[in-house]
Structure 1
Amino acid sequence: MSGSGSDRLTAQFAFLNEADRLKQVDRANVLMDNSRPENSAEHSWHLCLWALVMPLPDGVNRNRVIAMLLLHDLVEIDVGDQPIDLPHDADALQQAEAAAAKRLFGLLPPDIGSALLSLWQEFETAETPDAKAAKRLDYSQPMFQVLCANPPRPDHLDVVRMNLTRGRAAPLAKDWPAIHARASALLAQMAPDDDPDLAARLAFLAEADRLKSVYRATTLVDGSRRENSGEHSWHLALYSLVLADQAENRVNIQRVTQMLLIHDLVEIDVGDVPIHSANGQAHASADTQAAESKAADRIFGLLPTETGKELRALWDEFEAAQSPDALFAKALDRVQPVMANLMSGGGTWVTYDVTLEQLDTRVGSKIANGAPEIWAWTRDQVLPYFHDRMFSA
């Protein structure tokens, strides 16, 4: 690889590794099963899923909304979560977030960093139709995170009540009356208006929350804990945004992003099947594929028929890994754990005693099929690890 291409990928992966830290920023909200606080990375993934399945106003670009939501909370790596029911200095927070955005997007090659910073700023100012639609979703998801919990926490219900009546969600009564009315009915423990389409979409989104409790073999970049499949899906979608320049001209990056947002939903039923487990055989076994197909039937079947069919077809395309979009998505799905293992000192390579030859066969070939330049760069990064391991054995 040329020096300039190598330097570019080095900067892109430096940003993506730094973004991993968002998985450790806890929010005031909790998971719907009340087991732990929700973090900002899995919140961002869930919001993108909202953007993928919820109807949006006419003229709004769904893909730009998803891109904004992928990025919108990255600044919390530096400034943390700001619960809406607690006082804060708005001007100071705005300045701190702007400084964080400048630092984070400044890690990227200038052309990518400038484009993503502009998108983040558009979301913050909320003046365009796309940004306003993204904000509406960002105001709605946390309320239903509370209202769909089992059971909802009384103190969190108080925050929702304040939010609906005089907080930032109050304008939804005009801007998105169906979602405001349903939230209000759930808060009052009343039967909501009969709207089977909205009810089905919300049921799917509530079920998706369970993916945040599916833990993978791969750890976070710093090795502090295992990654869950919700935050992994967010990180992969971010990969698609940042590494879009590595895709062939035939690749539709927006479709790749959507694939990666939904690709692991079947793990709600099946769990994570590590690629290196059972000597690399379990991941692609007929039993695993059958179980995942059954899970896809159930989970996408929760949605209104047409939406469910569209997303199921997209999931099937990803699994088949034949189209240019799916091949690039698969490449990103393979390279992200490689980076986590490399940065954390070996990770699952140590757990499963993986050799360089096995990495080439199980992982490298899949990355090279969809993103050959990414694999050429990545293999250069992992070679010293396997070299040192071989000579220290």
Structure 2
Amino acid sequence: MTGMTGMDSSAGPGPASAQNAAGASAATPAGTPRSAGTMLPAALPGMPAYDPADLYSFDRPGMVSPVIAAALPRVYVPNSESDTVTVIDPSDYHIIETMKVGHEPQHVVPSWDLKTLWVNNDLGNSLTPIDPFTGKAGAPIPVHDPYNLYFTPDGASAVVMASKDMQLVFRDPHTMAVQKVLPVPCEGVNHADFSPDGSYFIVSCEFSGQLLKVDTKNRAILGVLDLPQKGSMPQDVKISPDGKVFYIADMVANGLWTVDGDAFKLTGLIPTGKGAHGLYVSRDSTTMYVSNRGEGSITLLDFATGKPRAKWQLPDGGSPDIGGVSADGKVLWLSGRYNAEVYAISTTDGRLLARIHVGRGPHGLAVYPQPGRYSLGHTGVFR
């Protein structure tokens, strides 16, 4: 077992068909969406209706779907340089086990129906399934260049971000059989998020400083947008609760680009900190946590004002990267990409609760389970 330091207190606590998963997930027994009664139908058949006032209204504390109510509370950390996944108990921060997976695991991704966690073994050209109810890994499935993984909002397709292949590969969400290969005119496709009605999604291209707009239903490229910052390296993508703004973290611009998704037009740049990388929405939809990997800090962006309102600095530095918010909203979990460690951070005051030593190159960790009816992929983008 690997050691841990910096602990101050404890943290908070087989695939179904798309139709069955959506129906079961919608029956959340706890919590009520803030705007219940204003739900709109989606553009995609099979996609659950959405709340236009708050796309994250089903992500409140206590709103864990009954589909995964029995899932083990765990934090899964892919160690890209160690070819392992470290499994952490979030209740006391101790490491439960370190499992061997494929070569260069980049992200741990919840499936659309919430019943599987997929380890993206990028250079191993495979996906390793983990059963969240037992914590056990299954046999890997061959998939070429799975740097990252998303799911269309109707649950009909998995979308592999094949970064080196310069492709978006649409696959069956369970078997991973290829449905369509979409070549892309940019380098380093890696992160994405979907429009409120699911009709399109915006993708960041890390190595060419560009964004793509993709038609979800027709699986076609609608546009390419060049970022004005020289050498831009866009990373995580997240839509605002009201669906009006897409935020794109940029490690070179040291902040967030804002984009009008419908018009596919750049509207501004919000400075946050050196190496802006990961984006996470608070459980009350008021705040977005921005991990600034290059300076060891987290910026709190206020959605109401569109401006940063605070910054938390990790004591003794670090390299906060990718992660997620605990089910109760009290803890922000982030990997320390260049420090072989994981950070548990209080969302109340930014205090470091634990610094846990893991394998080399920890990257896209997943906190599980989390509230929400279904997963759009990455390390946990839930609606």
TM-score higher than 0.5 here?
Answer: no
Shorter-chain TM range is under 0.3
More strand per residue: 1 or 2? 2
TM-score by length of 1: 0.25
Larger Rg: 1
